[in-house]
Amino acid sequence: MPRPKVDADQSGALPAFRPRIFRPTPANLARLAAVLRSGGIVGVPSETVYGLAADALSAEACKRIFAAKGRPSTDPLIVHLASSRELDSVAVASPTAYALASACWPGPLTLVLPKRAEVPDLVTAGKATVAVRVPAHPLFRRLIRLVGRPLAAPSANPFGYISPTTALHVREGLTGSGLRSILQGGECTVGVESTIIDLTHPTRPLLLRPGGLPVETIEGVLGQTVLRPPPACLDIGEAAPAPGMLTQHYSPHTPLTLHTRIDAGILEQLPENEAVLLLRRPEKSAAFGVVSAKVAANRVRWLSERGELEAIAHRLFGVLRAMDSEAWARLHSEIPNGSEGLAPAIRDRLTRAAARRN
């Protein structure tokens, strides 16, 4: 039977393949598990952001992640398990690690531990440690169980761009990348990546990346302080101990400028082709009004009603993506103050996003 004709565009190139989004039926989960067992890649949901998954114990499979994302080999991957009982299969875990795993998994916490020989060097950027977690999204864990292998899964987006929090974000970003399948799991509930704690020295837990689990929660479990060094700002060529440590990351294509606070006076001074992202709904004023000669209805966006950090984190990447798709010359965003809750994670993402162009 002849294959159907595929029309090329005017340049002669074939259209980019659009990944298919699969509903989470038992048949589809079995189908996607088979793809992963055969060395393929699949877009997967988690509570943090959508991931691009492959067999974590197969270097050949993980190469497809790096190729699809355009990710440098110096940026390691996080290994995802279905249960904390599997931790010993990929890492050498201390009592401190087991205490955190018992209290915080499944959840947005990644632990960096000495790796087992079974984990390929490609996954760990050649380092002797591995980043590992148990995701809270039940579909992701179910898929891991069906595959019967741990899954490596960085964010499912072109390297350095805003992380995806819906299946459509994944398809928009990775059409033409070689990805063919995405598991639909709804919108991510947390909205920012996991917190990463280095437990290479179990008595000196070290924060490598703030994320979806507040550090004070981790300290409450351990009964000790987690060391919080200044944020790492690495270049692409430097091998990182964990993901999310590059100076430029999570970046929109549109230049982004950060402010501790944006009020009506600042808005009035900005050019009309620049848009603003606020942490909370603005107070009513002429400058922030939706009907104004100076302010277009969609020029001012906000992430929460009253500054709730969970709401800000949940909506951050989605709203940034929407604004980036519009024809603004520059974006301006507020950043949260404070060192508790999700404030450090939100500030970290925005700071690295703004490092692209300023």
Q: Return d(Cα 23, Cα 185) in angstroms, integer.
A: 8
State which fold the 20-222 domain adopts: DHBP synthase (3.90.870)
Domain limits, the chain = 20-222, 256-354
d(CA 89, CA 86): 6
Query: What is the residue-averaged pLDDT of the chain?
Result: 92
Percent of the chain with pLDDT over 70: 91
C-alpha to C-alpha distance for 312 and 257, rounded to whole angstroms:
18
Let me know: does 42 contact 182? Beta carbons within 8 Å: yes
% of the chain at pLDDT higher than 90:
83
How far is 189 from 82, CA to CA, in rounded Å?
Answer: 19
Q: What is the pTM of this model?
A: 0.92
Which pLDDT belongs to residue 70?
A: 96
Cβ proximity of 244 and 355 under 8 Å: no
- The answer to whether 41 touches 153, Cβ cutoff 8 Å, is no
Give 182-199 pLDDT, tens digit per residue.
999 999 999 999 999 999
Question: Would the pLDDT of 290 be above 50?
Answer: no
pLDDT tens digits for range 199-252: 999 999 999 999 999 999 999 999 999 999 988 888 887 888 899 998 999 999
CB 104 within 8 A of CB 213: yes
Higher per-residue pLDDT: 15 or 273: 273
Residue 60 has pLDDT above 70, yes or no: yes
* Residue partners of 148: CB distance under 8 A and separation at least 6: 37
Mean pLDDT of 90-94: 97
Q: What letter would DSSP give residue 2? A: P
Q: How confident is the model at residue 172 (pLDDT cuts 50, 70, 90)?
A: very high
Mean pLDDT within 142-156? 98
Task: Identify residue 138 by its one-letter amino acid code.
Answer: P
| Per-position DSSP letters for 244-280, written without gaps between them | S-BSS-SB-SS-EEEES---HHHHHHS-TTEEEEESS
Residue reference for tokens 């955190």: 100
Least confident stretch, 112-121, 290-299, 333-342: 290-299
